[in-house]
């Protein structure tokens, strides 16, 4: 029997998902609902075997290894495992420059 983790959504990740769904809903409310369910379900499934996600390539290239991602095309669910918790940190569009987005978020974050 495998250990279970608690999946915790950050405010930023929830806001990312809200923005994605609102954008899709402008043209297709039905599709927005499907995308919402798909992303929430796949991220929630991280409670089992969260290591299955790959290390974020752009961060690995900089020597930053604790962040993983699930690809739910075209989105990337960025998360970190800490103890028995999985923190969903961001949901990013893979068609955008991920390095720029992450850098902007770091620079604009409040400590």
pLDDT at residue 1 in the model: 44
Rounded Cα–Cα distance for residues 94 and 98 (Å): 7
pLDDT at residue 58 in the model: 83
pLDDT at residue 110 in the model: 53
Q: 83 is in which domain, residue-wise?
A: 6-108
**92 in any annotated domain:** yes
Rounded Cα–Cα distance for residues 29 and 82 (Å): 35
**1 in any annotated domain:** no
Instruction: Domain count for the chain, please give it.
Output: 1
**Residues in the chain, pLDDT under 50:** 1, 111
**87 in any annotated domain:** yes
Query: What global pTM score does this model have?
Result: 0.85
CATH of the domain at 22: 3.30.2310.20
């Amino acid at each position: 029997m495998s250990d279970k983790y608690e999946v915790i959504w950050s405010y930023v990740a929830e806001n990312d998902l809200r923005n994605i769904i609102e954008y899709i809903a402008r043209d297709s409310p039905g599709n927005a609902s499907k995308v919402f369910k798909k992303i929430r379900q796949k991220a929630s499934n991280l409670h089992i075997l969260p290591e299955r996600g790959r290390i974020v390539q752009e961060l690995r290239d900089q020597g930053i290894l604790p962040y993983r991602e699930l690809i739910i095309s075209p989105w990337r669910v960025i998360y970190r495992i800490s103890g028995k918790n999985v923190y969903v940190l961001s949901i990013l569009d893979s068609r955008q420059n991920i390095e720029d987005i992450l850098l902007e978020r770091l620079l604009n974050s409040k400590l």
